[in-house]
Chain A
């Protein structure tokens, strides 16, 4: 059994799975139940002067019948008094001394306000502080959240104020709603931050109700942009995490956030250099219980790969990300369709013709239009009833790849519904590796 013990910017937890600041970490009872379920830490729902929320608050993007591929919210920070939150933090820490409890903070941009909240929170027993410079909705209109996180000077200044009094590690939570997330991370580092949390939610409008014409979520016939999260944002989060982890000027440890719903995404964030992982949407969808598979799955995968601790593979994939100009132009792969697995759906064929490079063919048909015409023509008379062979795909339906023309784009492999039916196989070009940068230099 692999060791999942986590040390991140001076904060320790039994595993890397933390609740991200949000509805699942709203109160002491919730955080206690989450710890009982197996979560290693929790970033408390952002504490500050209590606000008033609207209803409704969430909207989502469904995809092909699956719910909540992406979630959007316009909920603000906690609506409970500061003292209530702090009292519950103290109670939770007493009951769970080995678990990480981090307080997410957001107050008005005054030095005294930040000093006061930092002192009170640390007195309550929090293991660390996360400065919420990320929320893109509501609070930003009041000069907080992403309004701070989008201006490097503000981010640095507030980090400095916090560090003037903080005794525990200080994390800065970054907004992705910037041109280059590294500029804010560097500012946070200059301000003295000990670690980063990335990413916060993306500005979004998830959709428009086609009957009422009101975008979602609907608040009395009006809507407002919200913060987008959930499985849909994972690729964006991974990219930003990689940018941060690969940036020498930043050099701070990262708590990865954005679309983590199982151990697979967790492993991906760790491979790109994260130290801990924060989860919110998946818990909102399925409850705290999902952590059991996250921890077990990650541990099993580590055992399988021979990793004993998280450090053994942290950041392993970072070296595999380069700039495009350094990729090998002479590396070539082609698609191969394995006929024994082909179910004859024709998706690779039409994808290649309409969306790629017209190098997958059905014998006897020049174009997809000719293929359809031939099929129609076959029905020009009532066919004899023939027993359908449900076990085997008729040879005529199995597409063939013109390997000379195939550019190795992967599209057919991506659309093929059958695992391993299409493989992308390397072909030897007989040429030495050469990148665009090298080619340019040679000119």
Chain B
């Protein structure tokens, strides 16, 4: 087997596509609820029974349009949405003592059909005056830009990376979504007439001023920054690779060096993505450390189940305090991680928000041998950049917006996605991008009187 074949086999899709017949049988199970709970559970409000019935009737093209009219990233959402807690979680079939309808896979069926036929979306009938810049090329900006463009406005998306798509391209576990899938969606948006300026320099006072001169409205869909530092000694050792960089590296290079014994720090969904990837890339043992207990774990239940099934070892109430290397000089190329020093934790009394705070158990330090450490304790806010934008209020580290319109305290700036909500699902970013687009359209029309 070549490396490429090996990689493809290791990262085979966990939710393979439905066959045509399978899709028909599944679509026919749908009761076609009115004011359907699945639709109401979808942040982008996709008419789920509507698109499913179109699959059943043999109208997959119409089905795809129903999805895309509500959610331009219907392809990636079909694969990365935590459907268990969204549409499928709300399916009335649960109360019918049956399996919920496989909405995610049916949506994928319609989307695969759409992209398989190479169709494009209708473009705006007439151009409208108004220029919008979307900063960041992730889901929020793509959704915002697509909708504005369909309304007839001129939109340019800027991103510092070489490829558009944001985390959909760089940050989702390969067995869920591939960069090529994400890029298909980018191309769909580009075909609407949205301009892309990639590998762009974004920050800096001059650049921001320039942008304000060139554009009437700026949408901030910048997402979040790097993985937060652990703040412990040894963090700079070469064998320490933060989760997002690790994921982006193995996806872009279709493989990445991985240790024999890997320690992942954190228990969110990204930590699970990193842990399962480390196993698939050849790691023999993967240990996941979390300072709280199983019940407080932020990862979704099904992600946790997947990781357990794949053989990730979970260490609860365990906090790293130092990373030790074989050579205590992080500047040397041959330095290597040798172990993570941990301390046992116990949960103290609940704090004001009712969350039990972990406290160190004195003298419980121990070392966990390993040759690679992947910190994954959440992304930091892009405070440096955001503080450069005039008159933008931040709340809890995120951009403060009117939730109905996405407008910030500076009326020429709108925002949506992770930089507002602190890091949620792709579908939330799409919903916020859409809402901001509607808000921006109203603002532009008001500007022109």
Residues on A facing B (Cβ under 8 Å) = 64-65, 343-347, 349-350, 362, 368, 371-372, 375-376, 378-383, 385, 387-388, 390-393, 397, 417-418
Contact = CB atoms under 8 A, between A and B. Distances in A.
Interface in B54-96: 56, 85, 89-90, 92-96
Interface in B285-341: none
Nearest to A399: B34
Interface residues of B, number: 32
A286 B191 CA distance: 52
A379 B432 CA distance: 10
Given A65-B24, A346-B34, A417 B431 contact: no
Contacts of A385: 85, 424
Contacts of A343: 92-93, 95-96
With most chain B CB atoms within 10 A of its CB, the pick from A64, A345, A347 is: A345
A349 B34 contact: yes
9 contacts: A64-B56, A345-B36, A346-B33, A346-B34, A347-B32, A347-B33, A381-B435, A388-B89, A397-B35
Contact of A64 (B28, B92, B424, B431): B28
B89 A346 contact: no
B269 interface: no
Nearest to A375: B40
A388 B34 contact: no
Interface of B: 24-25, 28, 31-37, 39-41, 43, 45, 56, 85, 89-90, 92-96, 403-404, 421, 424, 428, 431-432, 435
B40 A381 contact: no
B103 to A, nearest CB: 13
Contacts of A378: 40
B35 A375 contact: yes
B96 A391 contact: no
A127 to B, nearest CB: 45
Given A343-B95, A383-B43, A65 B31 contact: no
A418 B96 contact: yes
A382 B432 CA distance: 7
A64 to B, nearest CB: 5
Given A345-B33, A362-B35, A381-B435, 19 more contacts: A64-B28, A65-B28, A343-B96, A344-B92, A345-B36, A346-B34, A346-B35, A347-B32, A349-B34, A375-B35, A375-B39, A375-B45, A376-B45, A378-B40, A382-B432, A388-B41, A388-B85, A397-B35, A397-B37
B43 A372 contact: no
A326 to B, nearest CB: 38
B95 A393 contact: yes
A417 B93 CA distance: 10
Question: Nearest 3 A-B pairs (CB), nearest first?
Answer: A346-B34, A381-B403, A390-B94
Contacts of A350: 34
Contacts of A382: 43, 403, 421, 424, 428, 431-432
A347 B33 CA distance: 6
Nearest to B401: A381
Nearest to A64: B28
Given A345-B33, A347-B33, A397-B37, A380 B85 contact: no
B31 A345 contact: yes
Contact of B89 (A375, A390, A397): A390
B56 A344 contact: no
A345 B34 contact: yes
Contacts of B45: 375-376, 379
A344 B41 CA distance: 14
B43 A391 contact: no
Nearest to A368: B34
B403 A417 contact: no
A225 B267 CA distance: 67
Contacts of B403: 380-382
Contacts of A371: 35
A372 B435 CA distance: 18
A65 B36 contact: no
Nearest to A380: B404
Nearest to B36: A346
B25 A347 contact: no
B435 A380 contact: yes
A64 B57 CA distance: 9
Contacts of B421: 382
A65 B96 CA distance: 20
Contacts of A372: 35
Contacts of A64: 28, 56
Nearest to B428: A382
B324 to A, nearest CB: 38
Contact of A391 (B34, B95, B428): B95
B43 A344 contact: no
Contacts of B94: 390-391
A420 to B, nearest CB: 13
B426 to A, nearest CB: 12
Contacts of A391: 94-95
Contacts of B93: 343
Contact of B92 (A65, A345, A349, A368): A345
B40 A379 contact: yes
A65 B89 CA distance: 25
A390 B88 CA distance: 10
B96 A379 contact: no
Contacts of B428: 382
Nearest to B90: A388
Contacts of A349: 34-35
A62 to B, nearest CB: 10
Contacts of B56: 64-65
Nearest to B429: A382
Given A379-B431, A381-B404, A418-B96, A344 B31 contact: no
B40 A347 contact: no
A422 to B, nearest CB: 14
A166 B102 CA distance: 63
Contacts of B43: 379, 382-383
Contact of B37 (A65, A344, A392): A344
A346 B32 CA distance: 9
A396 to B, nearest CB: 10
B266 to A, nearest CB: 19
With most chain B CB atoms within 10 A of its CB, the pick from A378, A383, A392 is: A383
A242 to B, nearest CB: 33
A380 B89 CA distance: 21
Nearest to A381: B403
A376 B35 CA distance: 10
